[in-house]
């Protein structure tokens, strides 16, 4: 399994030297659900400074007035020889196909990447990778892997994205309350006790789960079954802690990872229900 | 030019009949598998067959929602089920998953595939992708403006369907798993617990809420017709018969009046008011004229208000007594002023002067929901006619 990072500071070269085999770069204006975004020139600089894997994220819902700019950006990225684009909106796939662009695509449907048939259909359409949903069980992950040729990406460690809205929910809330606006707050659902980080930017509002997901307990199993890429988010770790974490995956130490990241295994053993008796 | 379609929800066979009788051109229903309303009273195959026969006899159509984001284990029996529901006579599937859409398109030429709003189609390019795949219609994301809807609706050989009335999701459809994380109920497989309507702790003095007001597009039906939308969709498979009858009947009137050029401002306001009267939340036009903002949200924990204007469902006629037989829904009494309305749009103003119980004894007050009662009326009315309160009389009881 190749380890990819999502970085919040500017030290990506150190992390690549430290064991990451690549990084994921959310493209400014065209991506959501991240804390740090990169311009095309930033990505160009990254490409110049490393031969390691560089993936770009374009995962926002695209609106008509953004399509021309999106095509320009896709053409730019084609020339930069990045290793792939994580996409959500099918406009990305459609534009890549219509314009015969030579770009490796990874389906990044957030909560929708849950079965092997759909991943395989995307594969047949030229999308050779899929970023699995965080809301499926370990058995489902293993089953998907055994039924697809597609490269699979999985979040090993980080705060899962829970929801995304086009609405400026924090602006609205603070306007209504006549309070000064905060772009980042934490809320708690009182009955369940679950906490969410709420972040607003010009594309809308994202909800993140406030417990860091940590798949250290199945890491070796995921490696053995052939999951191709594991993603480790920096989150709010400082540079030293993040290097320790990367190290703990490279020279695998479950104990160390758990010490740094806690024990939230997400939905690995907890199948969601959908019929309430 | 083809007349715009009015598409209504139906959680069960009775609702299907009511919305079609009240003027819907087509109805969307959930089956026992693959539907995003797993907890609605979904249609069995027999019910589906009966519903299709009922609709087709009226020259109307039935669409089946098959819009879950399925997991590998949900795949079992999928092909058989698709064949079975097609054999029941459905006219189209409303599908979210790309694999499922392609499977149906490739294997069945006699049924349409509509792409669900779950896929949040927000632009021309993704809409064309689905058209080229073989879908005949896309249900647009609810986050679009008039201009954006117009542009997508201009794509040749692709119908667009737009929500015009009912509850709104706070987040993009398909991009929300709040329900999964708070209740372990899978939002994208039909288990949504509507966590966006919960109140969250934020600071010691206040709650954070993210619930939206409902959608009501009555004032803009002509605009939607003019910009080339194919279908107007009402949300709410689990809503009451009265709500559905009122909403569908109102939009039927508005659409027909626009097409025959008889809609006046007064009538439009009257029907807007009628639609507001059955809503249990405030309504707005959400993204149609501007990005949703502070005015489109709720900031208190409780948003729903109870509506008690639905007094009864007419279920028959007592020839001897010359009285409508009804099943009571809400309290009413002698002296109340009401309207009796029928599926074909007739409205009879009526003042209650006498109420009989099931034993033909006169009573002053109807206070037991589900009780069978009778109201003197000179003519028989068609099934599914209803009574609503207009003005309460003086209260002596």
CB contact under 8 A, B189 and A272: yes
Residues of chain B in contact with residue A274, where contact means CB-CB under 8 angstroms, are 38, 68, 185-186, 189-191
Contact by Cβ (8 Å): B177, B118: no
Query: Mean of the per-residue pLDDT values for chain B?
Result: 93
CATH superfamily of domain region B310-391: Translation factors (2.40.30.10)
pLDDT in the model for residue A271: 85
Nearest to A164 among B122, B152, B171 (CB): B171
Indicate if the pLDDT at residue B397 is higher than 80: no
CB atoms under 10 Å from CB of B393, counted, come to 16
Q: What is the spatial distance between Cα A253 and Cα A257, in angstroms, rounded to a whole number?
A: 6
Average pLDDT estimate for B119-129: 97
Interface test with B, best of A31, A59, A61, A66 (most B CBs within 10 A): A61
Percent of chain A whose predicted confidence (pLDDT) is above 90? 97
B262: three-class secondary structure by DSSP: coil
Tokens representing B154 are 């201009």
Residue B222 exposed, middle or buried by CB count within 10 Å (0-12, 13-18, 19+): middle
Indicate the DSSP class of residue B396.
Answer: -
Decide if pLDDT at B396 tops 60.
no
Mean pLDDT calculated for residue range A116-127: 97
For domain B5-296, the question of CATH label 3.20.20.70 is answered with yes
- Are residues A118 and B208, on separate chains, in Cβ contact within 8 Å? no
Whole-angstrom distance, CA of residue A55 vs CA of residue A81: 10
> For A9, phi and psi rounded to 5 degrees?
-105, -160
pLDDT exceeds cutoff 70 at B303: no
Residues of B in contact with A165 (CB under 8 A): 170-172, 175-176, 210
The band of A275, judged by pLDDT with boundaries at 50, 70 and 90, is low
Interface touch B176/A163, C-beta < 8 Å: yes
B192 to chain A: closest CA residue: A274
Q: With CA atoms as reference, report the closest residue to A10 among A242, A227, A170.
A: A242
- When CB atoms are compared, the residue of A64, A172, A276 closest to B151 is A64
Q: For residue B230, what are the contacts with CB-CB under 8 A and spacing of at least 6?
A: B2, B4, B5, B137, B153, B159, B160, B161
Question: Torsion over CA of B5, B6, B7 and B8, rounded to 10 degrees?
Answer: -160
Contact between residue A187 and residue A195 where contact means Cβ atoms under 8 Å apart:
yes
Contact B240, B246 (CB under 8 A): no
B354: left (phi over 0), alpha (psi -120 to 50) or beta: beta
Q: What is the pLDDT of residue B42?
A: 86
Ranking A265-274, B85-94, B138-147, B262-271 by mean pLDDT, the lowest is: A265-274
Q: Report the gap between the CA of B42 and the closest CA in chain A (Å).
A: 12
Write down the pLDDT at residue B39: 59
Nearest alpha-carbon partner for B194 in B218, B157, B167, B219: B167
Q: Where in chain A is the domain with CATH 3.20.20.70?
A: 2-158+212-261
Locate the chain B residue with the closest alpha carbon to A207. Answer: B178
Instruction: Report CA-CA distances (Å) from A131 to A62, A87, A118, B126.
Output: 19, 10, 12, 20
Task: Using an 8 Å CB-CB cutoff, list chain A residues near B143.
Answer: 61, 166
Domain boundaries, chain B: 5-296, 310-391
In this prediction, residue A226 carries a pLDDT of 97
Q: Do A189 and B75 touch (CB under 8 A)?
A: no
The pairing of beta strand B283-284 with beta strand B214-216: parallel
The complex's ipTM works out to 0.95
Torsion angle, CA of A78/A84/A86/A92, rounded to 10 degrees?
A: 30
CATH of A2-158+212-261, one of 3.20.20.70, 3.40.50.720, 3.10.450.710, 3.40.120.10: 3.20.20.70
Residue-wise pLDDT for B321-377, tens only, equals 999 999 999 999 999 999 999 999 999 999 999 999 999 999 999 999 999 999 999
């Amino acid at each position: 399994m190749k380890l990819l990072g999502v970085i919040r500071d500017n030290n990506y070269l150190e992390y690549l030297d430290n064991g990451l085999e690549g990084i994921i770069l959310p493209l400014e204006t065209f991506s959501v659900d991240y804390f740090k975004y990169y311009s095309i020139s930033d990505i160009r600089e990254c490409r110049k400074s490393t031969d390691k894997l560089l993936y770009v994220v374009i995962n926002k819902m695209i609106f008509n007035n953004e399509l021309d700019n999106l095509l320009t950006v896709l053409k730019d990225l084609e020339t930069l020889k990045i290793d792939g684009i994580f996409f959500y909106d099918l406009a990305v796939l459609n534009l890549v196909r219509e314009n015969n662009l030579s770009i490796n695509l990874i389906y990044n449907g957030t909560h929708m990447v849950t079965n092997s048939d759909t991943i395989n259909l995307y594969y047949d359409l030229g999308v050779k990778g899929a970023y699995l949903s965080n809301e499926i069980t370990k058995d489902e992950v293993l089953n998907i892997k055994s039924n697809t040729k597609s490269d699979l990406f999985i979040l090993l460690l980080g705060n899962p994205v829970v929801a995304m809205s086009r609405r400026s929910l924090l602006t609205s809330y603070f306007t209504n309350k006549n309070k000064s606006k905060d772009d980042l707050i934490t809320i708690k659902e009182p009955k369940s006790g679950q906490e969410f980080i709420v972040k607003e930017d010009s594309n809308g509002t994202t909800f993140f789960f406030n417990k860091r997901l940590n798949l250290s307990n199945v890491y070796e199993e995921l490696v053995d079954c052939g999951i191709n890429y594991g993603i480790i988010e920096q989150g709010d770790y400082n540079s030293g802690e993040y290097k320790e974490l990367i190290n703990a995956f490279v020279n695998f130490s479950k104990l160390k990872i758990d010490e740094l990241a806690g024990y939230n295994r997400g939905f690995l053993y907890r199948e969601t229900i959908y019929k309430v008796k | 030019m083809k007349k715009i379609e009015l598409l209504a929800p139906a959680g069960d066979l009775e609702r299907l009949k009511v919305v079609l009788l009240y003027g819907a051109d087509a109805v969307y229903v959930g089956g026992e598998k693959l539907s995003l309303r797993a907890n609605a009273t979904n249609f069995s195959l027999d019910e589906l067959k009966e519903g299709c026969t009922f609709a087709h006899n009226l020259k109307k159509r039935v669409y089946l929602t098959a819009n879950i984001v399925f997991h590998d284990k949900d795949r079992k029996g999928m092909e058989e089920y698709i064949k079975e529901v097609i054999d029941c006579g459905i006219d189209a599937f409303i599908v979210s998953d790309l694999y499922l859409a392609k499977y149906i398109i490739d294997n069945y030429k006699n049924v349409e595939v509509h792409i669900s709003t779950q896929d949040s189609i927000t632009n021309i390019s993704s809409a064309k992708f689905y058209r080229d795949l073989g879908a005949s219609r896309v249900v647009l994301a609810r986050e679009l403006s008039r201009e954006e809807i117009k542009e997508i609706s201009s794509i040749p050989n692709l119908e667009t369907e737009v929500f015009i009335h009912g509850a709104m999701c706070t987040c993009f459809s398909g991009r929300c798993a709040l329900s999964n994380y708070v209740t372990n109920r899978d939002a994208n497989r039909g288990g949504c617990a509507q966590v966006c309507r919960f109140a969250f702790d934020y600071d010691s003095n206040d709650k954070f809420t993210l619930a939206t007001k409902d959608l009501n597009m009555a004032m803009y039906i002509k605009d939607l017709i003019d910009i080339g939308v194919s279908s107007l969709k009402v949300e709410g498979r689990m809503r009451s018969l009265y709500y559905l009858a009122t909403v569908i009947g109102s939009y039927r009137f508005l659409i027909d009046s626009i097409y025959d050029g008889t809609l006046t401002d007064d009538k439009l306001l009257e029907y807007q008011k009628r639609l507001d009267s059955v809503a249990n939340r405030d309504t707005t036009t959400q993204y149609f004229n501007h990005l949703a903002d502070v005015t489109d949200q709720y900031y208190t924990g409780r948003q729903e208000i109870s509506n008690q204007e639905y007094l009864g469902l007419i279920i028959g006629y007592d020839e001897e007594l010359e009285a409508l037989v009804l099943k009571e829904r809400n309290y009413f009494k002698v002296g109340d002023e009401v309207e009796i309305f029928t599926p074909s749009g007739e409205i009879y103003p009526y003042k209650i002067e006498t109420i009989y119980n099931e034993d033909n004894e006169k009573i002053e007050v109807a206070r037991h929901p589900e009780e069978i009662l009778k109201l003197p009326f000179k003519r028989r009315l068609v099934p599914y006619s209803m009574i609503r309160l207009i003005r309460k009389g003086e209260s002596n009881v």
